[in-house]
Structure 1
Amino acid sequence: MLDVVALLALAAVATAVVWKGSTWLESSADSLAAGYGVPAVVQGAIIAAAGSSMPELVSVLVATLRYGEFELGVGAIVGSAVFNLLVVPAAAALAADGGMPTGKDLVYKEALFYMLAVASLLLTFSLAVIYYPLEGPGLQGDVTRPLGLFPLVLYGLYVFTQYLDTAEDETAADPDVDLGRAWLWFGLGLAVIVVGVEGLVQSALGLGDAFGTPAFLWGMTVVAAGSSIPDAFVSISAARSGRPSVSLANVLGSNVFDLLVAVPAGVLVAGTLAITFAHIVPMMGFLILATIVFFAIVRTDMLLSRREAWTLLALYGLFVVWLVLESVGLSDVVPT
């Protein structure tokens, strides 16, 4: 019991470290974008998304390269996507007065690419099982580098469509930005994030050993929630300042980056990585359910009301309960 408490305490401290590092990294990334006169499309689709998603990207790389737990990294990405869809918009809507209005551009354009991102990642894992099968229980397969490139190509299409929407925008460089100082804080923020993510991954692995369950189950909660805290505060701040579209765009942009860039990054860096389809399908299945509920809610009346926000939080509560039941052996949807 004491070991479990210590691991949860480690996760809490690591979350705070990730939060601080993400704050430094995102603010320095904004300064660099302004200092170099980066176009709005690059700043929004790449720099802002990568900045807020850096903890998730580091989670995949640390889990894969240091501990050989690629599925833990995938679990962290899927869990973070679920957290971003259900908790972050709900918290932002509750923080804003009278709920949070959405918009057709956000719901239709961003929804299209987000749904394509979910489908493409599931297709990538399916192709791994079909064309590169491995011996073992649960339909195992190798995700190769060529397969890892498939989601990245789709992300390139996402960036290209954003570019077409803002091709005529011109952004002048801000001469008042101290680029050297900005790069220093960017590197420091990244280093702090790596330290914090290391703590999150260690706590997930330790909890998996303590309960005798796969570590990726804890990656879907401990690592995912810890790495998604920065997104939550960015979205809540945007909602309180009367910029609800920025709040939701941050959520969807971060998720698209996580699914199409962060997961393939582990494959491209490490080479061929094995996955168990029986583990992946329940994770992706709940993500698809959360996606359907989220877009159904934000589409109705183009408003995320306070009642709907509580519905999203309730669904996330069910997600956590399911993972707890899996962890203590009272549910066997995910084979161990």
Structure 2
Amino acid sequence: MTLMTFVYLIAGLILLVAGAEVLVRGAAKLAAQFGIPPLIIGLTVVAFGTSAPETAVSVQAALDGKGDLAIGNVVGSNIANVLFILGLTALIAPLIVSRQLIRLDVPIMIGASLLTMGLAWDGSLSKLDGAVLFGGILTYTAFLIVSSRKDKAAAEDDEFTKELGLDETPKPYGWVINAALVLGGLVLLVAGSNFLVEGAVNLARALGLSELVIGLTVVAIGTSLPELATSVMAAIRGERDIAVGNIVGSNIFNLLCVLGLASLVSPLPIQIAANALAFDFPVMIAVAVACLPIFFSGFRINRWEGLLFVVYYVAYTVYLVLFSTGKPVAEVFAAAMLGYVLPLTAVTLVVVAGRAWHKHGFTGDELKR
């Protein structure tokens, strides 16, 4: 393993995060100057910005013919977003779960996960599959815009106006500056994705791990840094419902938009590794489904549940490394997790959720938050 491998990885991550930030700021102000409401900017530009690193890396990997890296990045990011980032954020402060997340967004996240696995079941994602996924994100975004304009446009307009600095007086030729920021952000994203993909491939070869495992771990965590920063800062500021919504929205966007775009631009269908279909996709779906009983347990994510998420993410990562290196203990580890730990956890969560459901129901005060 050479020093340049780490240079590529670190440089790639820095450029991706910086590029996403610059792109969001420039695009938001540019859109505002053209008269687009702050709410719509928040639901589109900001949503794209937090997933811009995943988009850049998966699209670049698809163009380079590195399908394992593209798939691992998205699947790994979705697993890391819930287990690691949401778990870590809940350890900082218990998180509030809104009614819309339980009734709408989490089921959509589960549905998107099942749809993606269904499309990938034949061992590849074609351009047609990519079109189906990308059509899903267009429909979802349009629905969010329409429903939000009906329900709470004024409050959210003020929130996004303040957050994105859209209340500032436009400067002369400001659109030129903002357009330059958008262009600069795109350049940083492309450069960062090139560096990160190159560094990830070199790291996989040096450690004797597959590109899929590196995509599921190192690259997934790296491209999820914007979500990590957003959720942790939201928890620290007391905006604990935003922290949860950010993660769920990002996961939906990753599956429908990121994988959709990657499949559309790939010269050939993206091949899906058999072990990814047999293990990683089911884990991603299980993690999405697990959100429902945990979110129902008092309509909040407590610290013990956050700790449970983080522990499971560590266990998942350990298994990936053991399996990829061919360690015999991997089978014993997997049997223990699947045969004892996961079923026990599932029963516990169902009992806790059932008690919460019986106590509050869909008309309880907790659900009105």
TM-score per shorter chain, which class?
0.7 to 0.9
Q: C-alpha separation between the residues in 1 aligned to 2:264 and 2:231?
A: 31
2:62–2:265 contact (8 Å) kept in structure 1: no
Of 227, 230, 246 in structure 2, the residue corresponding to residue 250 of structure 1 is: 246
Q: C-alpha separation between the residues in 2 aligned to 1:84 and 1:211?
A: 25
Q: Given the alignment of the two structures, is residue 285 of structure 1 paired with residue 282 of structure 2, yes or no?
A: yes
Q: 2:105 maps to what in 1? A: 110
Q: C-alpha separation between the residues in 2 aligned to 1:300 and 1:183?
A: 46
**Cα pair distance change 1:33/1:107, threshold 3 Å:** farther
Q: C-alpha separation between the residues in 2 aligned to 1:295 and 1:7?
A: 40
Q: Which one-letter code corresponds to 1:166 in the other structure?
A: S
Q: Given the alignment of the two structures, is residue 70 of structure 1 paired with residue 67 of structure 2, yes or no?
A: yes
2:263–2:270 contact (8 Å) kept in structure 1: no
Q: Given the alignment of the two structures, is residue 154 of structure 1 paired with residue 149 of structure 2, yes or no?
A: no
Q: Given the alignment of the two structures, is residue 100 of structure 1 paired with residue 95 of structure 2, yes or no?
A: yes
Q: 2:197 maps to what in 1? A: 201
Q: 2:45 maps to what in 1? A: 47
Q: C-alpha separation between the residues in 2 aligned to 1:212 and 1:16?
A: 25
Q: C-alpha separation between the residues in 2 aligned to 1:16 and 1:208?
A: 20
Q: C-alpha separation between the residues in 2 aligned to 1:62 and 1:154?
A: 22
Q: Which one-letter code corresponds to 1:260 in the other structure?
A: L
Determine helix, strand or coil for the equivalent of 1:301: coil
Q: CA deviation at 1:109?
A: 1.1
Q: Which one-letter code corresponds to 1:34 in the other structure?
A: A
* 1:264-288 deviation line (CA, Å, top 9, x unaligned): 2122112431413513312211111
Q: C-alpha separation between the residues in 2 aligned to 1:309 and 1:291?
A: 15
Q: Which one-letter code corresponds to 2:288 in the other structure?
A: T
Q: Given the alignment of the two structures, is residue 224 of structure 1 paired with residue 206 of structure 2, yes or no?
A: no
1:85–1:251 contact (8 Å) kept in structure 2: yes
Q: CA deviation at 1:306?
A: 1.5
Q: Given the alignment of the two structures, is residue 318 of structure 1 paired with residue 298 of structure 2, yes or no?
A: no
Q: 1:263 maps to what in 2? A: 259
Give the total of aligned pairs. Answer: 315
2:61–2:197 contact (8 Å) kept in structure 1: yes
Q: C-alpha separation between the residues in 1 aligned to 2:234 and 2:32?
A: 19
For structure 2, the residue ranges without an aligned partner over 5 or more in a row are: 335-369
Q: 1:296 maps to what in 2? A: 293
Q: CA deviation at 1:113?
A: 1.2
Determine helix, strand or coil for the equivalent of 1:27: helix
Q: CA deviation at 1:313?
A: 0.8
**What are the residue-to-residue correspondences of 1:97-176 with 2, within 5 Å?**
99-126=94-121, 129=122, 140-141=123-124, 143-168=125-150, 169=153, 176=169
Q: CA deviation at 1:233?
A: 0.5
Determine helix, strand or coil for the equivalent of 2:65: coil
* 1:194-252 deviation line (CA, Å, top 9, x unaligned): 22222221122112222444212101111111111111101111222222222221111
Q: C-alpha separation between the residues in 2 aligned to 1:251 and 1:159?
A: 16
Q: Given the alignment of the two structures, is residue 58 of structure 1 paired with residue 51 of structure 2, yes or no?
A: no
**Cα pair distance change 1:86/1:269, threshold 3 Å:** same
Q: CA deviation at 1:87?
A: 1.9
Q: 2:343 maps to what in 1? A: none
Q: Which one-letter code corresponds to 2:76 in the other structure?
A: G
**Cα pair distance change 1:277/1:222, threshold 3 Å:** closer
Q: 1:134 maps to what in 2? A: none
1:35–1:176 contact (8 Å) kept in structure 2: no
Q: C-alpha separation between the residues in 2 aligned to 1:208 and 1:187?
A: 32
Q: 1:233 maps to what in 2? A: 229
Q: TM-score, normalised by structure 1?
A: 0.85
* 1:15-57 deviation line (CA, Å, top 9, x unaligned): 2332222222233333234333424553243211111101101
1:60–1:263 contact (8 Å) kept in structure 2: yes
Determine helix, strand or coil for the equivalent of 1:318: helix
Determine helix, strand or coil for the equivalent of 1:87: helix
1:79–1:220 contact (8 Å) kept in structure 2: yes
For structure 1, the residue ranges without an aligned partner over 5 or more in a row are: 130-139
Q: Which one-letter code corresponds to 2:233 in the other structure?
A: S
Cα RMSD of the aligned pairs, angstroms, is 2.4
**Cα pair distance change 1:192/1:274, threshold 3 Å:** closer
Q: C-alpha separation between the residues in 1 aligned to 2:129 and 2:39?
A: 27
**Cα pair distance change 1:194/1:36, threshold 3 Å:** same
Q: TM-score, normalised by structure 2?
A: 0.78
Q: CA deviation at 1:78?
A: 0.7
Question: If you compute each CA radius of gyration, which structure gives the higher value, 1 or 2?
Answer: 2
Overall identity of the aligned pairs, in %:
24
